[in-house]
Amino acid sequence: MANITLFAQIIRLIPREIIQRLVKKHGTDKHAKGFNSWSHLVTMIFSQFSGSVSLRQISEGLQSATGNLNHLGLSRAPSKSNISYQNANRTSQFFEDVFYALFQYLGQHGSLKQMKKRLKAKVCLIDSTLMSLCLEMYDWALYTHTKGAVKMHTVLDFETLLPEFVCISNGKGADNTIAKKLHFARDTIVVADRIYSDTELLNHWDSTGVVFIVRGRDNIQFESIRERDLPDTTSQEILIDEEVRLTGVETASKYPKKIRRIGIYNVQGGYTIDLYTNDFKHAASTIATLYRSRWKIEIFFRNLKQNLHIKSFLGTSQNAVEIQIWTALITILLLQYLKRIAKHPWCLSNLTASLRLNTFTKIDLFQWINEPFSPPPDEPEIA
């Protein structure tokens, strides 16, 4: 048994010196009124771990742990009005920087890496996901004339399956526009769906030394330059591997170089897709395998939405919404870290649910995640 709760032990994974440095950088403790940046961060992470869906639930949940608040670095439980005020006024940039700093800190130990690299190059998966909002309440979150939405543009690291870049915009934020602002290191392999098959974007990536693998749109016009041989060992799903030149009125001028086209048959769906890439080195089967891995970013979005609280929001301002999304990302980062260092084969949803049930249980965290269902040792008999 331990003297502090499971939740307090998880919070202690966050180095206080990192938070203090970021507080000084952003000046987020000015006019804090007794509710400083650390208290705010812990409160919002608690809302994710506990599954609280309202400010009242957060406040009363922390009030119920009166004797354990000092272990969290809190002097008292915040009120509903205090949480609401700070969500609206404390900059979300602070929480964004906390996520990236914690990602780097935990990643230094190699504990976040779960996939063996088959390629020497860095692989990134890029996509976005929408979270619907009521336009009347969130008038800044423009999407359509009748609906509001916030969009999370994400670059997922293929090794850790965690986001190394996130940009939050309203629902009208175009994916290819955001992608043009990203900087990838030379020789990075970017895998994306058809929404990123913008020839101007592809030309930008190619000119900066980035390798792309993108699903093409159905109406792309091209002419074949030469057909590449398919080895006998090639998977039967590869239909064609050829070098082509785009011939569309706009596409030809935006991407005048040759490009590789790989036709793939999806056995489960019974349809074919075309992949376009500037990678002329790797086998067609390798490129097809990399594109299939793109679904891992969809799994990440599903885990985020199913296990954490980002389908509804605690405040209506853009700053409050962004704070809630960033604290959800911080929480899933901590959960994935625990999942990957644990000896027990946790499913992320089971780990989240078990921690939610044992938030204020006093037991050793690392012993518990390794052997969650082992009975506690017998207490010695008193003579």
User: Chain-wide mean pLDDT for the chain?
Assistant: 90
pLDDT at residue 376, rounded to an integer: 60
pLDDT at residue 114, rounded to an integer: 57
CA distance 300 to 309: 14
pTM of the model: 0.91
Taking a C-beta distance cutoff of 8 angstroms, is the pair 91, 318 a contact? no
Compare 144 and 328 and report the one with higher pLDDT. 328
Could you give the 3-state DSSP secondary structure of residue 227? strand
Q: What's the whole-number mean pLDDT along residues 302-314?
A: 93
In this model, does residue 278 exceed pLDDT 90?
Answer: yes
Query: Among residues of the chain, what percentage have pLDDT more than 70?
Result: 94
pLDDT at residue 121, rounded to an integer: 86
pLDDT at residue 110, rounded to an integer: 52
pLDDT at residue 113, rounded to an integer: 64
pLDDT confidence band for 108 (50 / 70 / 90) = low
pLDDT confidence band for 268 (50 / 70 / 90) = confident
Compare 166 and 117 and report the one with higher pLDDT. 166
pLDDT at residue 1, rounded to an integer: 54
pLDDT at residue 32, rounded to an integer: 74
pLDDT confidence band for 184 (50 / 70 / 90) = very high
Query: Token pair for residue 19?
Result: 């938070």
Of 133-137, 241-245, 326-330, least confident by mean pLDDT is 133-137
In this model, does residue 206 exceed pLDDT 60?
Answer: yes
Question: Using one digit for the tens of pLDDT, what is the confidence trace for 17-44?
Answer: 999 999 999 999 987 777 999 999 999 9
pLDDT at residue 230, rounded to an integer: 85
* Beta strand ranges found along the chain (DSSP E): 123-133, 148-157, 163-170, 189-192, 211-215, 222-227, 238-246, 259-266, 271-277
Taking a C-beta distance cutoff of 8 angstroms, is the pair 263, 249 a contact? no
pLDDT confidence band for 267 (50 / 70 / 90) = confident
